Amino acid sequence: MQLISSTYIAKAAIKKDGVIRHELTEDNWLKECYQKMELDYPKFHKMDNLSKMAFLSLELMKTSAVFDTIEDDTVELIFANTSASQHTDLKFIDSYQHQGNPSPSLFVYTLPNILTGELAIRNKWYGENTFFVASEFDASLFTERMHHSAQNGKKLCLCGWVESKLDEKNMPELEECFLFLVAVNKETSDLAQTNFASDLIDLYKNNQTK
Amino acid sequence: MSDLKETLKSQIIEQLSLEDITPADIQNDAPLFDESGLGLDSIDALEFIVLLETNYGIKISDPSRGKEIFHSIDTLAAFIENNK
Amino acid sequence: MENKVFLSYGAFISPLGSTVESNYESIFQGNSGVQQVIASGFKDENWFISKIDWLKENRYNNLLSTALEALTKTEHKSILASKKTRFIISSTKGNITALPLDVFASTRTIIKDLTGNQNIPIIISNACISGVTAINTAADYIRYSGIENVVIIGIDTVSDFITYGFQSLFALSDQPSQPFDAKRKGISLGEACGIIVATKNKPTDFSVEYLNGTSSNDANHISGPSRTGEGLYRVVKKSIEKSCIKNDAIDFISAHGTGTIYNDEMESIAFSRCALTTVSLNSLKGYFGHTLGAAGVIETIVCMLSLQHQQVFKSIGYEEKGTSEPLNVATETINKPLNIVLKTASGFGGGNAALLLKNVSCN
């Protein structure tokens, strides 16, 4: 298992391969990031925060040359978080409890896997995709699934830990996206798991500290 | 009627999260669901139905009618005027 | 060639019964759990829903507990606490009443308390393909991670959240759902919990062989199905290739068949592209409603029942061809020799998944 590239985005900083690329100052930091990256994808503004974070993280990562070789179903998407779609769930509930009518554009985002759909649509990727819900960042979940992916013939996995969580007062408690692109090999994936999981935890924690 | 049209433009921009668009960008007769217009999709059409009910008290029970009603700001405003 | 994986019954709780046997009896009789539920809609509409009437408070937690208690009474009880046993849960919303707190916290606690299993449960929340994906994932853990048994739980409960949500999409039918029929108008929601136990070793009780399966994204729209059925076409084709079988080996298809205009049309196009339009096919949504995260698991259990009893169950609600491509929709429940069965699922987020099951001789 070989790390090709990683990105980490949160309100504090936008990083690619551990290096800060943008610093943000506004409350609507996702919009600010989109503008700073000079992207042109109007559908972005309709997305929920999970999809926005995953989208921006991937756009940042796509400057890597490896993306010239990625097409169709080359990549398996493996994503996870602890809060599923909690943030949008609460917004949807609010739409029918307080805003007058249940909102269809919010409802369609009350599933955490929608973000993988947004990435697939943007990049025309037809490969496998799964979203998991864990109780904390679980590196071995990612390495196990990447090992399975390699055994099933895949060479590349795009993994993501994407969280958009509100606290009991409906204030943002944690919003972050850690994306990592990994080359996997059928012959070596089994033995590679333990070391890679350990490296992954370090990579995640290092990215979290500014 | 023109006040209604301007109000509709603001409401649509907010309801559909059209962040990069201002009311001045929306022509009254432009086909909203066309690439030449706002390029809206099927979910946006459903949000229009919510907008009509919440803001104007008009209920649409058949979403397939959406195509004619939401064709443009002009047709939408005319529909609201006729169904108030 | 990969190691074999066997699937056997764990539990099956639905409005049609609280055991695998009682659900089978109801299906065989052609009974449906779909009923009109007064004031279930946002404006008090009376939607048709397949609801488990005896579930009162704490519905999700009670449903999960009841199913696990049933599981502990089967031949599998000795393996539940084993280190070589993992749990995979397929659910779209978990215990939604826990919001804003963790909707899956109670799932983890209940599994640990009732089974003694110390491994971290793997939770898949991938819209309506969660169930089929969970079974495919279980096979991977057995084949490649040294796991001997996987308990696969598919579970979702009906709630205002879900009902109002689908209502806002105009996806609900004001009649009981009629998958693939010309008069179909949409979905009838449902709730259930199904448990399948995947094992490396052939169990003593009835089992089927899991061959292979996979998932694929349409890369088209986050809630509308692909007009060309691209993702579904790919998963069927790839599952057949990975299983090293030929197209004509498939005896029966348990389709997704939600009863919406677009989903059922998309499936007919995909199956046509796969040259499977003459294969006997049904949707089970007329019996159980659309049970979301539970669907892939309970409908695979029914595939297992088909293989066990060598029967094809009629597709409730189907009378007249309603898709542009022809499908061989089962209009009556009949005996039929069955060896290989294909299960498919499609869901929000552009997901599609499929798996293939094989009859195990000398059961």
User: How close C136 gets to chain B, by Cα (Å)?
Assistant: 31
Kindly determine whether residue B46 and residue C170, on different chains, have CB atoms separated by under 8 Å.
Answer: yes
> Which phi and psi (to 5°) does residue C73 adopt?
-95, 5
Asked if C44 is an interface residue toward chain B (Cβ–Cβ < 8 A), one would say: no
pLDDT given at position C357? 98
The CATH number covering residue B6 comes to 1.10.1200.10
Q: Residue C278 to residues A156, B45, C139, C252, C342: CA-CA distances in angstroms?
A: 37, 37, 29, 10, 14
Furthest-apart CA atoms within chain C: distance in Å: 56
CA C30 – CA C272 distance, rounded (Å) = 28
pLDDT given at position C1? 65
| Domain total in chain B | 1
In chain C, which stretches have pLDDT less than 50? 363
Q: What CATH fold (topology level) applies to the domain C5-199?
A: Peroxisomal Thiolase; Chain A, domain 1 (3.40.47)
pLDDT given at position B84? 81
CB of A20 within 8 A of CB of A190? no
The CB density around residue C37, as the number of other CB atoms within 10 Å, is: 19
- Return the residue in C168, C220, C238 with the most chain A beta carbons within 10 A, the one to mutate for interface testing: C168
CB of C216 within 8 A of CB of C234? yes
The CB density around residue A152, as the number of other CB atoms within 10 Å, is: 20
pLDDT tens digit sequence for B38-71:
878 899 999 999 999 999 999 998 998 888 899 9
CB of C297 within 8 A of CB of C90? yes
pLDDT tens digit sequence for A61-103:
998 889 998 989 999 999 999 999 999 999 999 999 999 999 9
Q: If you average pLDDT over every residue of chain C, what do you get?
A: 97
pLDDT tens digit sequence for C131-155:
999 999 999 999 999 999 999 999 9
Residues counted in chain B: 84
Which one is predicted more confidently, B2 or A116?
Answer: A116
Chains that touch C (3 or more CB pairs under 8 A): A, B
pLDDT given at position C361? 67
Chain A residues whose CB is inside 8 A of the B47 CB are: 103-105
ipTM of the predicted assembly exceeds 0.85 = yes
CB of A181 within 8 A of CB of A157? yes
Dig out the tokens for A141 from the structure.
């979940």
Q: What is the DSSP string of C30-99?
A: T---EEEETT-STTS--EEEE--TT--SSHHHHHHHHHHHHHTTSGGGGGTT-TTEEEEEE-SSSSGGGT
Domain that residue B54 falls in? 2-83
Q: Residue B53 to residues A104, A182, A198, B47, B48: CA-CA distances in angstroms?
A: 13, 48, 54, 10, 9
pLDDT given at position B1? 76
Interstrand relation of C252-254 and C340-347 (parallel, antiparallel or unpaired): parallel
Nearest to A144 by CA among C119, C344, C105: C119
Q: What CATH fold (topology level) applies to the domain C207-359?
A: Peroxisomal Thiolase; Chain A, domain 1 (3.40.47)
Q: A75 to chain C: nearest residue by CA?
A: C216
pLDDT given at position C363? 43
Judged against a pLDDT cut of 90, whether residue B19 lies above it is answered with: no
pLDDT tens digit sequence for C7-48:
999 999 999 999 999 999 999 999 999 999 999 999 999 999
pLDDT band at A147 (very low <50, low <70, confident <90, very high): very high
pTM above 0.90, yes or no: yes
Domain that residue A24 falls in? 2-208
Surface of C (153-212) touching B: CB under 8 A: 168-170
Chain C residues whose CB is inside 8 A of the A81 CB are: none
Asked if C58 is an interface residue toward chain B (Cβ–Cβ < 8 A), one would say: no
| DSSP H or E run through C282 | strand C280-282
CA dihedral angle for residue B40, residue A97, residue C15, residue C256, rounded to 10 degrees = 10
Q: What is the DSSP string of chain B?
A: -HHHHHHHHHHHHHHTT-TT--GGG--TTS-TTSTTTT---HHHHHHHHHHHHHHH------GGGHHHHTSSHHHHHHHHHHH-
The CATH number covering residue A198 comes to 3.40.47.10
| Domain total in chain A | 1
At A145, is the secondary structure helix, strand, or coil? helix
Judged against a pLDDT cut of 80, whether residue A49 lies above it is answered with: yes
User: How close A14 gets to chain C, by Cα (Å)?
Assistant: 26
Q: What 8-state DSSP symbol labels residue A26? A: S
Judged against a pLDDT cut of 80, whether residue B12 lies above it is answered with: yes
What is the number of CB-based contacts under 8 A between chain A and chain B?
A: 32
